[in-house]
Chain A
Amino acid sequence: AQTVTQSQPEMSVQEAETVTLSCTYDTSENNYYLFWYKQPPSRQMILVIRQEAYKQQNATENRFSVNFQKAAKSFSLKISDSQLGDTAMYFCAFATRNRDDKIIFGKGTRLHILP
């Protein structure tokens, strides 16, 4: 079975620091996508970043970047120069065509950015 594991239920960092959220997954597939979603306290979940498994280059979106290690099945999210608005629940997610197009989510990491 394909699984997504986020080993850090909760984290706190000071504003302006860099923080890394961990995610590992388990699959026998070669062709898949990985996502990080953010759910701020107002609750609407939004996509932060997306990575295609066949691309070697790590995806970046402004202050957000990923460290994708395909062999290790690891997909961590790095937030640089963290801001108070980054306080949220972060979900790692995985999707492969052999899962009938369903996206599998991890259990989430609650991130607190402290002033």
Chain B
Amino acid sequence: DVKVTQSSRYLVKRTGEKVFLECVQDMDHENMFWYRQDPGLGLRLIYFSYDVKMKEKGDIPEGYSVSREKKERFSLILESASTNQTSMYLCASSLLITGGRSYNSPLHFGNGTRLTVT
């Protein structure tokens, strides 16, 4: 089974702090994603990556950056945390389908990190 591990289940940070959320997957998946989940809004894509050192903006990238230095690890960075970034953050990975397209490849999720910014 694919295992996607997020480093923290709960995190409390102060406004203005730099926050790192770490995600590691153990199945050699090419694709990795960061979502935030908020009640009534569902899942919204922040950033994704198809390869090492490669990143693409999702639907709500403002206030976030990412780093993918190794294939198995995808980090989400909040440069200066704000209270409106209080949320559940979900990391996911998926396999790159032959032909370079992965839209039909199922996502494998981590357990999530509930971040509170005070």
Contacts and interface: CB of A to CB of B under 8 A. Distances in A.
Nearest to B42: A107
Interface residues of B, number: 26
- Top 5 nearest A-B pairs by Cβ distance? A107-B42, A45-B109, A95-B103, A105-B43, A33-B104
Given A35-B106, A101-B102, A103-B107, 12 more contacts: A37-B107, A43-B88, A43-B111, A44-B110, A46-B109, A50-B106, A91-B42, A96-B103, A100-B56, A101-B50, A105-B42, A105-B43
Interface size class of A (residues with CB under 8 A): 20 to 34
A44 B111 contact: yes
Given A44-B109, A91-B42, A33 B90 contact: no
B104 A47 contact: no
Contacts of A105: 35, 42-44
A52 interface: yes
Given A42-B111, A44-B110, A95 B104 contact: yes
A89 to B, nearest CB: 9
A100 B58 CA distance: 10
Contacts of B44: 105
Contacts of A99: 103
A108 B42 contact: yes
A105 B44 CA distance: 8
A70 interface: no
9 contacts: A35-B106, A44-B111, A45-B109, A50-B106, A91-B43, A99-B103, A100-B56, A101-B50, A101-B101
A105 B35 CA distance: 11
Contacts of B104: 33, 50, 52, 95
A64 interface: no
Nearest to A6: B42
Contacts of A9: 40
A63 interface: no
Contacts of A100: 56
Contacts of B111: 42-44
Contacts of B112: 43-44
